Amino acid sequence: MLTSLRFAVFGAGFWTPFQLAAWREVGGVEPVAIYNRTPAKAEAVARQFGIPAVYGDPGRLLREVRPDFVDNITEVGGHKPLSLLCAKHRVACICQKPLAASYRDAAVIVAAFRAARTRFFVHENWRWQAPMQQLRELLAAGAIGTPLRARLTMVSGFDVFANQPTLRRLEQFILTDLGTHVLDVARVLFGEARTLYCRTARTLAPRVKGENVATVLLTMGRANTHVTVELGYARTPLEPSSREVFPQTLAFVEGTAGSIELAADYVVRLTTRTATRVTRHVPPRYVWADPRYEVAHASIVPCCADLLAGLRGTGGGETTGEDNLKTLRLVFAAYDSARSGRAVTI
Ligand code: 89Y
């Protein structure tokens, strides 16, 4: 029987209750303390989840509680200082995405944990979504031969700013908030990128500071698959059943021996020379999940399970800091390309 890992939570914002509920599903961990800049918010979360200690000083928490790991669920501004604090105290840490507001800061964080010989992971849940896992399995099994071209689309009019008002104030918005997820999925499905070209637009100005539309074209993996990533939070009216499906990512992949469509409502259509097979990959429904975020919230569970295995060193732990740097390399290369109008070699 493995002993339960004692963990501390940093942050008490929108994602914290969902992440704590997901840890409860996974089991084998116990939240023992919570820190938040505004302690009243941390107290409310502590009451809800029975967390015995609330701190307004993260350094004091680490010294007094000595948790086995920290789950840093703060906004991006808290990621670097709080992660570095964990590295200094040699406390393993899982940090929310996006890891940092620049590639350089992300690399500094990852290097600090490497130097401290302390485990460090990024909470990157998109690749753990039920339909994405199916797509990953089909491609790995060669179900459509060599993937030649793919389109990954996450375009929605959903008001993401209502629950996460800080998103409005980001100078770099959709590529850091959502591009991190979808470019990560692209890496998992097709391999590492060789080249990248990106165009961005800002259509909700001045109420949204950063870009809210982006199109990224990449060549990826051994097959040099052409991958287009389409991102948009532009309040475009979309047909509700097939297109307005936040937070589902839609996909279409063409291969030498077939094609796969990931359509609305978790439908996967696999077409080969002989037939089209239609299956559905509905995420588990949890009572604690917000139904408007269904597939995203459900994916926190397998994500945390994988991170726990990584923390225990029992296999898993896919989304290490090092792995996430490869995703962030693409995110920030996309900004470089959008600025210069040129393709970037990765
Ligand atoms: O912040 C984002 C995330 O991680 O999932 C969807 C989201 O809430 C809005 O883009």
Q: Which residue, among 316, 321, 253, 338, has the nearest Cα to 28 in the 3D structure?
A: 316
| Residue 164 beta carbon below 6 angstroms from any ligand 1 atom | yes
Task: Write the burial class of residue 2 (CB in 10 Å: 0-12 exposed, 13-18 middle, 19+ buried).
Answer: exposed
Edge to edge, the sheet with strand 225-232 lists 276-280, 267-272, 258-263, 250-255, 147-155, 225-232, 213-220, 193-201, 344-345
* 33, β-bridge pairs: 8, 53
Q: pLDDT value at position 136?
A: 98
Q: How far apart are the first and last CA of the chain?
A: 45
**Ligand 1 atom with the shortest distance to the CA of 167:** 1
CA distance 258 to 256: 6
Q: pLDDT value at position 113?
A: 98
CA distance 174 to 167: 9
Q: Which residue, among 29, 104, 40, has the nearest Cα to 69 in the 3D structure?
A: 29
CA distance 47 to 24: 15
Q: pLDDT value at position 2?
A: 78
Q: Which residue, among 22, 20, 28, has the nearest Cα to 49 in the 3D structure?
A: 20
Give, for ligand 1, the residue of 160, 167, 300, 331 to mutate: max count of ligand atoms closer than 8 Å to Cβ.
Answer: 160
**What angle do helix axes 321-340 and 180-190 make, rounded to 10 degrees?**
110
What length is written for the chain?
346
The answer, as to whether pTM is greater than 0.95, is: yes
The residue to which tokens 């997901």 are assigned = 22
CA distance 96 to 76: 8
Q: Which residue, among 181, 189, 183, 187, has the nearest Cα to 260 in the 3D structure?
A: 189
- Measured CA to CA in angstroms, residue 337 lies from 134, 315, 327, 329, 345 at distances of 31, 36, 15, 12, 10
**Ligand 1 atom with the shortest distance to the CA of 296:** 5
Tokens for 322, please give them.
Answer: 């090092």
Q: 168-202 b/e with 16+ CB inside 10 Å = b? A: bebebbbbbbbbbbbbbbbbbbbbebeebbbebee
Query: Could you tell me the distance, in angstroms and rounded to a whole number, from the CA of residue 213 to the centre of ligand 1?
Result: 14
Query: Could you tell me the distance, in angstroms and rounded to a whole number, from the CA of residue 96 to the centre of ligand 1?
Result: 11
The protein residue whose alpha carbon is closest to atom 10 in ligand 1 is 178
Instruction: Name the stretches of the chain with pLDDT < 70.
Output: none
DSSP code, position 207: T
Given a contact cutoff of 8 angstroms between Cβ atoms, the answer to whether 214 and 334 are in contact is yes
The protein residue whose alpha carbon is closest to atom 8 in ligand 1 is 160
Q: Rg of the Cα trace of the chain?
A: 20
